[in-house]
Amino acid sequence: MEVRLPAVLTHAQANTCAKALQAALRMGQSGPAVVVNASALRQFDSSALAVLLDCRRFAVSLGLSFAVAGMPPRLRQLAGLYGLAELVPAASEAAPVSAPESAPAAP
């Protein structure tokens, strides 16, 4: 399943965008993976990373893998600077991500 980010994603749009992505994931679960297409991003701040992390968390909770396509170089640099690059992998680099398994119950 592919979802798209808007051209502008700053603090002012982050909450609305995150909710819209969650709604799209809830309604359109098809396939084992979520790819967020970020190629439209033109104006953004670090809130775009927060939205991507929220989307990743939600996708993983649904048992889906997560990747980002078309991430602008500046956003990729921000992800690296904050130590988040491996959490928002490029679609071509993405390894399957699964929800954490719960520990077995103690006898």
Q: Is residue 101 part of a domain?
A: no
* E strand map for 1-107: 2-4, 8-9, 33-37, 43-44, 65-69
- Both tokens of residue 44? 């953004």
Distance CA 93, CA 38 (A): 15
Q: Which residue in this structure is represented by tokens 């500046």? A: 74
DSSP state of 36: E
The domain in which residue 35 lies consists of: 2-87
Domain count, the chain: 1
Q: Is residue 98 part of a domain?
A: no
Percent of the chain with pLDDT over 90: 64
Check which CATH number belongs to the domain holding 12 and give it: 3.30.750.24
pLDDT for residue 93 is more than 70: no
Per residue in 31-70, pLDDT (tens digit) is: 788 899 999 999 999 999 999 999 999 999 988 899 999 9
Q: Is residue 100 part of a domain?
A: no
Backbone φ, ψ for residue 28 (5° rounding): -115, 30
Q: Is residue 107 part of a domain?
A: no
